[in-house]
Amino acid sequence: MREDVGQLLWVGFPGPQLPSELRARLDAGAYGATILFKRNLVYTKVAGAVPTEVCDLEALAALSRELHRAAPDGTPALIAVDQEGGVVQRVRAPATQWPPMMAHDGFAAPDDERTAEQVGRAIGDELRALGFDIDFAPVLDVHTNPDNPIIGNRAFGHDAATVARRALAFARGLDAAGILACGKHFPGHGDTDTDSHLELPRVDHPWDRLESVELAPFRAAAAAKLPMIMTAHVVFPALDPTRPATLSEQVVTGLLRQKLGFEGVIVSDDLDMKAIAAHLGAGDAAVRAVRAGCDVLLLCNDQRNQVLAEEALIKEAERDSDFRAKVGAAAARVRTMKRAHAANQARQPAPARDVVGSYANRTLADKLAGRA
């Protein structure tokens, strides 16, 4: 049961070195994956007409090798990153610098879809060469609110059909590179006017509007069997008037799992974000998220919260057999995904390191940005 709980907990850590305590916890099966941020990468400032920072790729590859550990039952720990393009890309120069995904608006159909798949493959190849397993992308949110402070041009478009077409093409590209895709942020963060990193947003649209706009890309993702979908820390009164989507059984299980038929792994957004952390302790939030139907809980910043979440999940699983069954089912989905991922990577050997920032990828980025 403890190893099942471990598969549900995916964590971040400070600094570019693997802490000895985290190494031990990974070896014990306490965590199912690690998540890398800019703070985990070694950057060197390079002087010039435009001063820039350059990532030490050797240090990153060495860290990846250390993080690829396995639980006592042999289940591997995976490595995840947010590498969307635009402002959200943790690995920067000398890796290819991608424009935001809204840049696909510069192409007419079907060239936009074809380009999106090429971009997903290129990003996936670079991540694979550096040892990553998961890209928390594509964004499936529909950008309908110009005052949205967190999504904006991270989205693939302004209407649901366009977003679904481009984003799922991007995901196919990641898959072809041997990288797991994770669509986000269910059931839709595109029409918020606040940032869930800082506070708890609301989307007050009625069901008919949600079904035709916000939910449509996620319905397409479920039909396309995307391996992962990430929840949003957003309240949708038409779906659940009191709880954010991440903590709502009506939203996660009733809507995503049952109504939309999603069979993959459901990932919570970071439980350290203020939309959740300002209202609940980490342990309570973790238990509520699993009860709602989340299979994986992200705890990206606070190491104490990671321990509290683990303790709370174990205690609740020991107390409640129904909850223990939920934990077991979630862990089984994670392990099934990991086995499929290993098989996919076996079919797609990792490219050489020189793919990172290659001329072909930089040319594609220039084409997407309209600089070609």
197 part of the active site:
yes
Q: Is residue 149 part of a domain?
A: yes
Q: What is the pLDDT of residue 249?
A: 97
Q: Is residue 29 part of a domain?
A: no
Please report, rounded to a whole number, the percentage of residues in the chain having pLDDT higher than 90: 88
Cα–Cα distance measured from residue 151 to residue 185, given in angstroms and rounded to the nearest whole number = 10
Catalytic residue selected from 82, 141, 269, 295 = 269
Q: Is residue 207 part of a domain?
A: yes
Q: Is residue 9 part of a domain?
A: no
Cα–Cα distance measured from residue 247 to residue 294, given in angstroms and rounded to the nearest whole number = 8
The number of distinct structural domains making up the chain is 1
The pLDDT confidence band at residue 363, using thresholds 50, 70 and 90, is: very high
Q: Which whole-number Å values give the CA distances from 157 to 148, 161, 167, 361, in the listed order?
A: 14, 9, 9, 22
189 part of the active site:
no
Task: State pLDDT tens for residues 61-88.
Answer: 999 999 999 999 999 999 999 999 999 9
Sign of CA dihedral 208, 209, 213, 215: negative
Q: Is residue 135 part of a domain?
A: yes
Q: Is residue 371 part of a domain?
A: no
Cα–Cα distance measured from residue 289 to residue 248, given in angstroms and rounded to the nearest whole number = 7
Question: Which residue type is seen at 80?
Answer: A
Q: Is residue 22 part of a domain?
A: no
The pLDDT confidence band at residue 57, using thresholds 50, 70 and 90, is: very high
Cα–Cα distance measured from residue 358 to residue 122, given in angstroms and rounded to the nearest whole number = 9
Q: Is residue 18 part of a domain?
A: no
Q: Is this structure's pTM higher than 0.75?
A: yes
177: domain range? 77-364
Give DSSP secondary structure letters for 332-354.
HHHHHHHHHHHHHHHHSPPPPGG
Q: Is the pLDDT of residue 314 over 70?
A: yes
Q: Which of 37, 26, 10 is nearest to 294 (CA)?
A: 10
Give the CATH number, domain containing residue 318. 3.20.20.300
Average pLDDT over residues 265-272: 95
